A and B are shown apart, each in its own frame.
Chain A
Amino acid sequence: MAKIIVYPPTSMILSDLVDRMGHKALVVPEAVRKLVTASDIQSPPLNVTPEEPKKGLRYAAVDVPSGVRGRMALIGPIIEEAEAAIIVEDPGWLTGCAGCSRTNELVRLLIRTKGVPLLDLSYPNNDEQARAFVKKIKAFLEGLK
């Protein structure tokens, strides 16, 4: 079982397909869960302390907006943990944790420069593309076993 980071890191389709094939999908909700359900919440309601943007400094310079560094505090450790990656081209409707374009550029760059096996795809628009989409993901994940 390999740890696969998926991009967009909040994608339901990608995390589900990875789980179906017997691998572990590394996704942002897991990182969020650790923050919001910790028993020693220091900064209610979300427990995002000044430490989070500082963690983000490992991935982005100090003059980068704190929103990018805050997001990287969640996504950066996931990238470090990843053993393979699936990147689906930005569909143009990313929101929430994945709603910052500059963070997304940095995430894609860090994944690509990490040197792990990588699958590049686009979201399907019709049945033919969807079949190829699923087939490529299956073949990629089977190759990792």
Chain B
Amino acid sequence: MLVTKYVITSSESDILPSDIAMKIYGSGRKVNVKETCFGVMINGEEDVIAELVKDIRTLDPHGIFIKDRGFPPGDPRRCRGRRGGGARPGFYMIESEAKLLPMITRALAFEGDAREPPPREKHLHLKRLEEIIKEDLS
């Protein structure tokens, strides 16, 4: 079965999408590659892609992230060139998570013992907000 994967690089990684594409071309495997601004898309047989993904990760073990994609690369149903422009729906999720990738990369590379972070501040309770408003207005 043909599968498609995104290979996405952390913004702090030294690896460029073109480096990944060259690695794939050099591997001689029969896969389709499409470079994007955030990484590459690869499309091919499931077992070939699984091996290739392992190879690609060796370029930067902590800075390269892999994600499944439903549509093949350049599919006219999703390609913005055919749809009249604009990002495809799934791009916003990638864009949002891509901002977290440098932190995740550093966390994966961290070899010490991670401490439990202090609990996060909770939202102000509605009743407390009401009290504050009443205190200010009285």
A→B interface (CB under 8 Å): 8, 10-13, 15-17, 19, 25, 27-33, 35-37, 45-46, 91, 93-99, 122-135
Contact = CB atoms under 8 A, between A and B. Distances in A.
Contacts of A13: 65, 97, 100-101, 104
Interface in B58-80: 65-72, 75-77
Contacts of A126: 103, 117
Contacts of B69: 29, 33
B8 A12 contact: yes
A134 B68 contact: no
A33 B70 contact: yes
Classify the secondary structure of B's interface with A: mixed
Interface in B76-116: 76-77, 89-90, 92-94, 96-98, 100-101, 103-104, 106-108, 110, 114-116
B52 interface: no
Interface of B: 2-4, 6, 8, 65-72, 75-77, 89-90, 92-94, 96-98, 100-101, 103-104, 106-108, 110, 114-117, 120
Contacts, number: 113
Interface of A, helix, strand, loop or mixed by DSSP: helix
Given A36-B71, A135-B114, 6 more contacts: A16-B67, A29-B90, A33-B3, A127-B107, A132-B114, A134-B110
A11 B67 CA distance: 8
